[in-house]
Structure 1
Amino acid sequence: MFKRIVIPTDGSDITAKAVDTAIALAKFHGAKLYAVSVKEPFPYSAVSEMQPTPPQEFFDAQERIASGRVKAVVAAAEAAGVPCEGHTIEALHAWEAIIEHADRNQADLVVMASHGRRGFQALLLGSETQKVLTHCTVPVLVVR
């Protein structure tokens, strides 16, 4: 049923559960995984020309962190015998990058974690998962 599954990762423990679920689903369906980690853009400041971190150092650190997260997913998938591609994407909004990545790879499922915030805290913080659920055109499996 599923042939292309996108699995976003932020390196958190709850994301590890979603990765395990995505790998199991991919193995069962003979699907390919597309792991993605979203990098933050450099926080350019219009007020000051003084930046605490030079832009290239910031970009390098973001890429190193995101690549590490993706490599962990690719390694886990390969250990389970599941084909997996890893990608890092820079975006202001992670939810938009996840949806675009799913569209670009013609995914038929997105498996992602939810941190389970509720009530006022969820309202204030928002939820990348909720935004993906709201705007994505392919099915989204939420793992808690």
Structure 2
Amino acid sequence: MFARILVGYDGSECSQRALDVAVKMVEENRASVITVAHVYHLPSMVLSQGYAIPESFVKEFDEQAKAMTSEALTRIAHLPESHAVTLNGTPYQAILEYADENGSDLIIIGSRGLGGFREMMLGSVSHRIVQHAKIPVMVVK
């Protein structure tokens, strides 16, 4: 079975269902540990223009990320050794790097997140994770 499950979480309905699936897997096999990863990404449009990012803008992103992580933590609080992390970067890359660096053996993600127009234009996070992951990936609808 899987010992270290990484769940990509953005608060969307699909990511909530992905977390529910992970929780059920852990409850059925107490040896598993869940890490919930919320990734926030400062818009590249802001960064590529060479402008300084206002501190208030960064603070708002940070607060939203902490709220999302806190939300996930309340959903897994009853599970021993499970935790949540906040990552900064391109979502699919951050999730894959975290999985690789921390010995995850399964990634569970929702089929659709909160990506909107950006996701449509660049390809979905879930698709990129499936294409580039070195470990099994479960995509939840």
> Would the TM-score normalized by the shorter structure come out above 0.5?
yes
Q: Contact (CA 8 Å) 2:76, 2:83: kept in 1 or not? A: no
- Would you say how many aligned residue pairs link Structure 1 and Structure 2? 133
Deviations 1:47-98 (A, max 9, x none): 7x5x7x71x212211111111112222211113x34322111111x210100
Code of the residue aligned with 1:15 in structure 2: it is S
Name 2:60's counterpart in structure 1: 61
Instruction: Tell me, yes or no, if the aligned pair for 1:6 and 1:35 is still in contact at 8 Å.
Output: yes
Q: Could you state the TM-score of these two structures normalised by the residue count of structure 1? A: 0.82
Question: Is 1:143–2:108 an aligned residue pair?
Answer: no
Q: 2:24, 2:108 → 1: CA distance?
A: 11
Deviation at 1:44, TM superposition (A): 2.6
Partner of 1:18: 18
Asked whether 1:98 is paired with 2:95, we answer yes
CA contact (8 A) 1:36 1:87 kept: yes
Could you tell which deviates more after superposition, 28-37 or 134-143?
A: 28-37
Partner of 2:125: 128
Instruction: Write the distance in 2 (CA, Å) between the matches of 1:72 and 1:82.
Output: 17
Q: Describe the superposition over 1:32-56 as per-residue Cα deviations: whole angstroms up to 9, x where unpaired.
A: 1111111113623537x5x7x71x2
Q: Distance in 1 between matches of 2:27 and 2:101?
A: 22
Distance 1:88 1:123 in 2: 24
Is the counterpart of residue 39 in structure 1 residue 37 in structure 2? no
Q: Which ranges in structure 2 are unaligned for 5 or more consecutive residues?
A: 114-118
- Give the C-alpha shift of residue 27 in structure 1: 1.9
Give the alignment's Cα RMSD to 1 decimal.
2.2
TM-score by length of 2: 0.83
Kept in 2, the 8 Å contact 1:6–1:36? The answer is: yes
Larger Rg: 1
Task: Report what 2:116 is aligned to.
Answer: none
